[in-house]
Amino acid sequence: MGAAKIAVPIVSLLLVVGVVIGVVVVIKSNGDEAQEAKNFKLPSMKMVTSICGPTDYKEACEATLQSIAKNASATANDYVRAVVEAALKEVNNALAATGKISVDKDKDKYNHVAVEDCKHLLDYAVDMLQASISAAEGGAGDLHERQHELLSWMTAVYAFQTTCTDQIENPEYKAAVQSGMVNATQLTHNAVNIMAELSEMLKLFNVKLPNAGSTLSQRRLLALEEGFPYWFGAAERKLLAKHSGGQLVPDVVVAKDGSGKFKTISEALNAYPPKFKGRFVIHVKAGVYNEQVIVDKKKPNVFIYGDGIAKTIVTGSKNYGIMNIGTMHTATFANEASGFIARGMSFRNEAGPQGHQAVAFRSQGDKTALFDCSFEGSQDTLYYQNLKQFYRNCRIYGTVDFIFGKGDCVIQDSQIIVRKPLPNQFNTVTADGREIKRGSNGLVLHHCSIVPDDYLWPVRFQIPTFLGRPWKPEALTVVMQSTLGDFIRPEGWKIWDGSTNHHTCTMYEHGNTGPGANTNRRTKEFKRFKVITAAEAAKFTVGHFLAAGEWLPQTGVPVQMGLY
C-alpha cells in the first residue's frame, strides 16, 4: 500500500490567459520569406497554454491539443473530447501491453491474479473514458452541468491505473506494467486537473455559466430536503417509499429455507435479465448467507434489501494474512456496477485481525448508496474503491484502516465501532487514498459517532486509536459534527510509516463533540491539518462533495443536505 509522491502545483488559468505570447518566426539566410515556427495561430496557442496551465505534464498536454487548436472554430467540447480521447488511446495501449504479460498461475498465483486484475481495471478505465467522450457531446452548458461527473470519472480512471500497480508484489511484473502505463497515467493525471478547472476553461470560450442562485440550484436544494443523495430520482423515491411501506414487490426473492425463488444471492444475480432496463429488485430474507457475492458491471441499478441488520447476513472469511489473497478479492460482497442500492443487510468478514486485509464490502460502482446496513470486519472492512458513494444510518466495525479507498465517499448519521486489534497493533478508523489534489475523491464522516466495542472498552486507553492515516500523498479526510469517544488519541491522526504523506495530505475537523474531539493537542506533523469553519465545512456536505445534482436535479432518498 505504499505510494509515490505526486505533487500538483496550482496555476490560475485566468492569470495564464492574460500572458501575451509572441509568434516566433525564422528568417532564412538566403532572404526567402519568413517561416512560422508554430503550427497554429496566436489565439489558439493562447488557448492551449491556458487549458494546460493547471496540468503537471504540460508538454504532453500541449501535444495533445495542438491538432484541435488548428481548427479556429473548435469549441470547449472539442477540447474536452481531445483531452479524453488522448487518454483513451494511451489506456488502450496500456491494456494491450499488459495483456502481453504472462505470469505462471501455478508458480505465482498471487501475482498472476494481480496482473489479471490490471487488465480488468484498465478495461473499466476504457469504459469510463468512452462514457466521458459521450458526455462531452452536448453543448458547453451541458458540459458545465456535468463537470463534477467528468472529474469523478477521470479521477477514477487514474485510480484504476494506480490500483492496478499497487497490488502487484513482484518487482519485475510491476515494472513491466508501469512502463506500459507511463503515457496513460500522465494524460489521465492531466485530464483530472483540466476537469477540475473546467468552469474556468469554459470562461475562455465566453460560455455564460449559471450562478449559485439559478433555477437549477434551487430545484436541487428543494429536492434534497427529503434527504436522499443527489442522483436518486423520482423512481428511486417511489421505490424506497414502497419498501418502507411494505408494498414493494421484488423481481426475485432469496431465502435459505427455500421459500424464495433462489437460495443464494449469487443465483438471484445470475437471473438478472440480458439488456434489462430499470431497477432490478432482490429481496433477501432473514438468514446467514455464506457466499462471496459480486455484482458485475453488466448489472447496473440493482436494489438489494434484507430483513434488517443482524437478520439478513452475508458472510465470508477470505483474507490476505492467512490465505495470501489480494485485498480486492477478499471482499465478501463486491459491487462493480453503477446505481447499486442496498438496505437492511449485514456484510461480514470473519477472518479476524489475524487475517489482516479482509474486506466485508467493496464498491467501485458509481452512485452507490447503502442505508441501514452493517459492515463487520477487522482490517479493511469497508472499501470505497472508486467513484461516488453514500452511506447512511449504518454501523461499521473494524480495527486498522477499516474505512479506506479512493472513491468520493460520504458516510452520514452512522455508528463507527472500533474493535480490539492484534497485540502491539494500533487502530486507525480511516485510510483515504486520494492521489491528485484536485481529484474529486476523499472521505467525509458527517454526524457519525466513533465508539469502542465491548471487548475494546476495558483496554481502550492501552491501545492507540486514531481518526485515520493517509494511505496516499494527497489523502483527504474530513470528520465533522461527529461524536468522538474518549479513546481517540489527543494527536488525532497517525503518520503512515515510511512515507511523507503527512506533509501533503489534508485532514480536517469541524464541529465535533465528545471527549475525543478536543483539537488542542492534535499532531503538528500534519502540515495541512486544520480545524475548519462552517463555511469551509459546507464544501464537504453531500450537496457539494457528491455534486451529481448538477446534472440530475430530480432527486429523492434520506440525507442531510447541509451541515444543519
Number of neighbours of residue 415 by Cβ within 10 angstroms: 15
Residues labelled as active-site residues:
380, 401
Is beta strand 280-284 parallel, antiparallel or unpaired with respect to 400-405?
unpaired
C-alpha 119/C-alpha 244 separation (Å) is 41
Strand, coil or helix: what is 72? coil
Per-residue pLDDT reduced to its tens digit, 378-403: 999 999 999 999 999 999 999 999 99
C-alpha 227/C-alpha 492 separation (Å) is 30
Per-residue pLDDT reduced to its tens digit, 329-346: 999 999 999 999 999 999
**This prediction's pTM:** 0.87
The one-digit pLDDT tens for each residue of the chain (564 residues) are 443 333 333 333 333 333 333 333 332 333 343 333 333 344 567 889 999 999 999 999 999 998 888 888 888 899 999 999 999 999 999 999 999 998 999 999 999 999 999 999 999 999 999 999 998 887 767 788 888 889 999 999 999 999 999 989 999 999 999 999 999 999 999 999 999 999 888 888 888 776 644 434 443 444 444 556 666 767 777 777 777 666 778 999 999 999 999 999 999 999 999 988 888 999 999 999 999 999 999 999 999 999 999 999 999 999 999 999 999 999 999 999 999 999 999 999 999 999 999 999 999 999 999 999 999 999 999 999 999 999 999 999 999 999 999 999 999 999 999 999 999 999 999 999 999 999 999 999 999 999 999 999 999 999 999 999 999 999 999 999 999 999 999 999 999 999 999 999 999 999 999 999 999 999 999 999 999 999 999 999 887 888 644 422 332 345 566 677
Looking at this protein, which amino acid is placed at residue 367?
A: K
Grid coordinates of 474: 494527497
Domains defined for the chain, CATH in brackets: 13-23+35-204 (1.20.140.40), 233-365+373-385+394-398 (2.160.20.10), 404-546 (2.160.20.10)
| Contacts of residue 204, Cβ cutoff 8 Å, sequence gap at least 6 | 13, 17, 47, 50, 51, 76
Closest CA to 333 of 315, 321, 306: 315
The answer to whether the beta carbons of residues 288 and 324 sit under 8 Å apart is: no
| Contacts of residue 29, Cβ cutoff 8 Å, sequence gap at least 6 | none
Grid coordinates of 88: 483513451
53 secondary structure, DSSP code = T
Grid coordinates of 345: 443487510
C-alpha 215/C-alpha 95 separation (Å) is 43
Beta-bridge mates of residue 392: 371, 412
C-alpha 316/C-alpha 383 separation (Å) is 15
C-alpha 273/C-alpha 295 separation (Å) is 13
Torsions phi, psi for 275 (to 5 deg)? 55, 30
Tell me how far apart the terminal alpha carbons of the chain are, to the nearest angstrom.
Answer: 36
